[in-house]
Amino acid sequence: MDHLLNYLEFFAKVITVAAAVLMVLSAQSKKKPEIYSITSESLNEKYRHDKLKVAKSILGKNYKSLAKIESQKQKKEKLNNLERAFLIDFKGDMHAKSIKQLQKQITTLLQLANASDEIIIKIHSPGGVVNGYGLGASILEQIRNHGIKLTVCVDEVAASGGYMMAAVADQILAAPFAYIGSIGVALEAMNFNQLLKNHHIGYEQITAGKYKRTLSTFGENTPQARDKAKQDIEKIHGQFKSLIQKYRPLIDIESAATGEVWLGSVAYQKGLVDRICTSDEYIFELLQIKNVFHIKCHRPIKLSEKLASGIGTVIDGLLHKLKSESKPRYE
């Protein structure tokens, strides 16, 4: 047991030093703007490489004839100067943290793409903050404004803010069991006022402006404050519906904007999507007629993040050690 206590003492020192380093690095990183790098990968080349790699082990001697055919096909693609399609993956969270990367990718593409090109956004998002996803929809609107075809693919989920972004597209493709819709707005807040009162703790909040604070976490919420908060989210909901009607005018917006979520197959019947199709299926179709490029945005991993990851590994090791020490053994 002594060696375990020594290890814990050493571990505590390491954590203290690491925490201090992380605080310094975090303070420094806030002063520097985040730098993103954009990369492009030809999916035609990737799929061809994967195909030949598998074929080599399956076909044996016949592999060479297939390789020759693929080589000739590749030359024809270059000579024919095929139209282009650009694929971007967007994975959104509650705070819409990936919007900055999407913005960088779209800004870069708009400097290169023309009216004969197509931009495909593969959206995976359950929605989140209004301002973040509103910005996301505005970014995608730029593609439409430049006269470039915009396609959105949904394999798993595009709900709430995720669907707000998808609705901007010329066409929406969804897998049959993808979650689609949730055209609504929610506002949730915990209130500890009664708990504070039970413990005889007062809470003061001074504001200037009639509606500077509506719902409070610690203060007492009044019916008037709740009504105002309700009015605010109704206005946001109205703008949400207006955006969808702008790009999908045939939808019965009142029956669609109830906040419900539907599977892709049902969403298709309601006009929320244009085709039942997975992203891989659509990309494979495009590979036959276009040069398809996968556009990725990378953010360098900060030293503070690397240290945090290292600390996590150490903690996992310690927990494993403690578990093994607590188990009965024969000596």
Which are the catalytic amino acids? 160, 212
Cβ neighbour number for residue 257 with a 10 Å cutoff: 20
φ, ψ (nearest 5 deg) of residue 152: -115, 130
Helical axes 43-59 vs 279-287, angle rounded to 10°: 90
Token pair in block for residue 236: 């946001």
CA distance 87 to 216: 43
Token pair in block for residue 161: 């803010």
Q: Classify each residue of 138-175 as buried b or exposed e, where b means 16 or more C-beta atoms within 10 Å of its C-beta.
A: ebbbbbeebebbbbbbbbbbbbbbbbbbbbbbebbbbb
The answer for residues whose C-beta is within 8 angstroms of residue 230's C-beta and 6 or more apart is none
